[in-house]
Structure formats: C-alpha cells, structure tokens
Chains A and B, each alone.
Chain A
Amino acid sequence: MLSKIVRTVANQLILFILIFGLYIIVHGHLTPGGGFQGGAVIVSGVVMLMVAFSSKELKKSLRERVLSIMESTGALILIGLALAGIGTVFAYNFLVGTPIFGRIPVTGPNPGDIWTGGVIPLMNLAVGLKVVAGLSAVVLALALFSSGEEMEE
C-alpha cells in the first residue's frame, strides 16, 4: 500500500479512467478504438488501483467467479450476435436498416451518429466486457501469485 497522497489521487482518478474507457468502447463505431482498446484502458485503471492500494484489498471486491462469468458472457454474446445473422452468412450485419442501431450514414466524411452501426456497437460492448474481465483476472492472479496468495472464489 502506498502513501495517502497516492491513494487519494488514485481514488479521484479512477472515475475519469472508467468514463474514458467506456467512451472508447461505446463510440467504437464512430471514432478510433473499440472493445479491445477501451477494455485495455479500463484495465489500466484497475492496475492503478492495484498499485495504489494493495492487491489484497482489491481481491475482496474482484472475485474470480464473477470475472469468469463476465468473460464467458461477453464471448457468448459475441458468438450469439454472429450466429443471429446466419440466415444470410455467418456474421451478417442483420440490424442495418432496422430501428435498433440501424440508421445508415451518408457515404463520405460526416460527424457521425451514435445510433448507427447495426450489430457493431453491441459487439463492441460484448468484447469490452470480455477484455475487462479477462485482463483484470490475469493481472490480479499474477499479482496475488507473486505475493504468495490466491484469488478468492
């Protein structure tokens, strides 16, 4: 555990890191970024908490079972969304033109609209969930192992 200054700053900063990561995930179909990148940003916030507080503190709130369920849910949502368009081909974007995320932008540069993209924003959310849970579990397991402990169930 580091000094009180570091802990206070980390406490204030984690909110902005989480919001930034969520922004990158949700705007994956408009701006550079997406599920993998935004998930990595959020996991960097988790690593910051792990450095500022100790990994023993963090393992009380990050359970291994919850992280496993989150990661498997993300993977299943991704595969399910890909299989949902199997009527045409695998991974067909079946939501284009429908009221859900289906608005089609004009071809060429334009400022962008959050309500576009078909299944792409949903897949970004699923991949973001998966990356956040998976990388958090890996980092936490490695940190706890090097300090001679084990993750809680």
Chain B
Amino acid sequence: MRKVVGLILLLVVVAFLVWGVLLIHPFGYPPSDMDDYIIENAQKETASNNVVTSVVFDYRLLDTLGEATILFTAVMGVLLLLRTLKRREESS
C-alpha cells in the first residue's frame, strides 16, 4: 500500500516537473526586459565590472541576505545540535 502511494506521488511530481520543463522559454529569449536593462546600466549604476556580482550584491541584495541567513541558521543548528547530543550522552 505504501509503495503504491509513493509511486503515485512520484508520478505526480514527475508530471509537474515535465510540465514545467515544457513551458520553459526557448534558450536565449528571456521573458522580460529586466536583463537588457541590467546589461546596459549595471556598470553605470553600481560601478562594478562584474555584472553578476552587481546583481547579487546590489539589485537583488535581499535574496543574498536570505542566503546568508540560511547559512547562519545552518551553522547555528549544527553547533547547537551537536553540543546538545554530547551533553546528553555525558549525563546519561
């Protein structure tokens, strides 16, 4: 029973992924004008030669902040978890 449910769920997920791939834009034809704007104005506005870095650290800094928060949470979780396990072993 569990295997049948798992198989059905797997097929649903695969169908969603294939659907998403079929709807993707053709290579080289992005859907928006944002990239043209960034390519033309990034060096002027952010004074950075590396346009990718200017997107990561200037235009989309909020996403980078989220990435840094994920790293922070991971480090905090690892340190807290391992220390707790160690102390519990000692007390038992």
Contact = CB atoms under 8 A, between A and B. Distances in A.
B47 A110 contact: no
Interface stretch (B2-10, B25-33, B66-74): B66-74
Contacts of B56: 34
B23 to A, nearest CB: 30
Nearest to A136: B75
Given A116-B47, A134-B72, 10 more contacts: A34-B56, A90-B61, A104-B44, A105-B47, A108-B43, A117-B54, A123-B57, A138-B79, A141-B78, A142-B82
Given A82-B65, A91-B62, A120 B79 contact: no
B58 A93 contact: yes
B45 A93 contact: yes
A150 B47 contact: no
Interface string A116-129: 11111001100100
Interface of A: 28-32, 34, 36, 64, 68, 71, 75, 78-79, 82, 90-91, 93, 96-97, 101-108, 110, 112-113, 116-120, 123-124, 127, 130-131, 134-135, 137-138, 141-142, 145, 150-151
State the majority secondary structure of interface residues on B.
Answer: helix
B46 A93 contact: yes
A32 B71 contact: no
Given A120-B58, A130-B68, A145-B86, A138 B47 contact: no
7 contacts: A29-B54, A97-B47, A101-B47, A108-B43, A120-B46, A120-B57, A137-B79
